[in-house]
Amino acid sequence: NAGVTQTPKFRVLKTGQSMTLLCAQDMNHEYMYWYRQDPGMGLRLIHYSVGEGTTAKGEVPDGYNVSRLKKQNFLLGLESAAPSQTSVYFCASSYGQGEFYEQFFGPGTRLTVL
Amino acid sequence: GENVEQHPSTLSVQEGDSAVIKCTYSDSASNYFPWYKQELGKGPQLIIDIRSNVGEKKDQRIAVTLNKTAKHFSLHITETQPEDSAVYFCAANSGGGADGLTFGKGTHLIIQP
């Protein structure tokens, strides 16, 4: 099993450009999450999904949109990138409820917005 | 929402000594407290977790303790080794559900040879 994979690994954008980050998991997990990691800030939740076709806002959702059209994929979109969105983005997945809270993380996408 | 504070931000210990990292949380409904280890250039990886119906959990050289009354939990690493050098994050689930984790800001653990 590949676990959680993220595409691309690195990306440089200019202010105002758009892009989509792709997360895929092969563990049949119901829950998927997008976090951003900034120096000295830990990881902050952007959006999450509790199942195919559903999404919800996390702590820092502004400037991002997400979609979960297939259970195994969770897409994070930036419609008009800003320098403040320069960060490392991590996707995670979990079974979700009860004793299955463990979140499995992908390797991250390093995004730079100039 | 949940707020998780983590201390210290940097911890340097001699190889073979013990390391302790402490976290506090604010939401009394939180009931799941994982610890993640992140090595340079990689995603966080779960090393141990504890649920609110347990006060202590141990796995070889690492242990976690939870004090629900005081709303704090700690990570203990004994007999530290060079491969323990990494950034460690504590976290708590928000509102008691599986709708994401709130992370502390991380502790950079340095093992001195």
Q: How many Å apart are CA B14 and CA B93, to the nearest integer?
A: 33
Chain A segment 47-106 residues within 8 A of B by beta carbon are 48, 50, 56, 58-59, 90, 92, 94, 96-97, 99-106
Question: How confident is the model at residue B10, as a pLDDT?
Answer: 97
Q: What pLDDT digit, counting tens, does each position of A33-86 carry?
A: 999 999 888 899 999 999 999 999 998 999 999 999 999 999 999 999 999 999
Of B33, B43, B92, B37, nearest to A92 (Cα)? B43
Q: What pLDDT digit, counting tens, does each position of B8-67 carry?
A: 999 999 999 999 999 999 988 888 899 999 999 999 999 999 988 779 999 999 999 999
Q: Do B34 and A101 touch (CB under 8 A)?
A: yes
Question: Does residue B59 or residue A100 have the better pLDDT?
Answer: B59
Choosing among B10, B64, B90, B101, which should be mutated to test the A contact, i.e. which has the most A CBs within 10 A? Answer: B101
Establish if B90 touches chain A: CB-CB under 8 angstroms: no
Nearest to B98 among A35, A97, A106 (CB): A97
Of A113, A112, A29, nearest to A74 (Cα)? A29
Question: How confident is the model at residue B99, as a pLDDT?
Answer: 66
Task: Pull the structure tokens for residue B11.
Answer: 């911890």
Structural contact between residues A103 and B101, judged by C-beta atoms closer than 8 angstroms: yes
Q: A85: which DSSP letter?
A: G
Helix H or strand E segment including B20: strand B19-25
Using the predicted structure, report yes or no on whether residue B96 has a pLDDT greater than 80. Answer: no
In which residue are the tokens 């900034």 written? Answer: A38
Q: What is the mean pLDDT of chain A?
A: 93
Using the predicted structure, report yes or no on whether residue A100 has a pLDDT greater than 80. Answer: no
Q: Which residue of A has its CA nearest to B99?
A: A48
